[in-house]
Amino acid sequence: MHVMETTTTMMRSMAKPEGMAMDMMKMQEAIDACSMSMQACTMCADAMGGMEGMGVCASRCAMCSDVCMTTMRMMMRPAGMERTAMVAMLEACIAMTAACMEECRTHADMSATCAMCADACEGTNAACSALLASMATDA
């Protein structure tokens, strides 16, 4: 069985967070997107870290990777999830991916790594926004 199929099956069988309505498939999409951004941002931070004038890009990508990883790990533990903290974490991830995407888009024409990172951040931003919107509607 493919790893993505396995995690999707696991998410379907996990209990929803107590006292909180949440679309578990939207959460799985957000987990997958955060994983993708975490990887893309790490690679971009590494690639840009040694380049002249790319310190802001490298730093922003490193921070974005950390925020995506933490957000992803929180979503992977729905039994202990607390609504206020999860909303705050999703909002932080949405803000950080928007900032990283904006920075990387400015370099996308000269760097395939920045273009890839911007695209990954865009996907994560959309997935976390959709999850957050579903929480607001269902709660």
Query: Encoding tokens for residue 33?
Result: 């997107």
Q: How deeply is 129 buried, as exposed, middle or buried, from its count of CB atoms within 10 A (0-12, 13-18, 19+)?
A: middle
- Whole-number Å distance between alpha carbons of 27 and 138: 13
Q: Which position has the token pair 């696991």? A: 10
pTM above 0.95, yes or no: no
Output the pLDDT for position 5.
61
Q: Note the pLDDT tens digit of each residue in 19-70.
A: 567 788 999 999 999 999 999 999 999 999 988 989 999 999 999 999 999 9
Of 81, 99, 80, 82, the C-alpha closest to 37 is 99
**Distance from CA of residue 86 to its chain's centroid?**
13
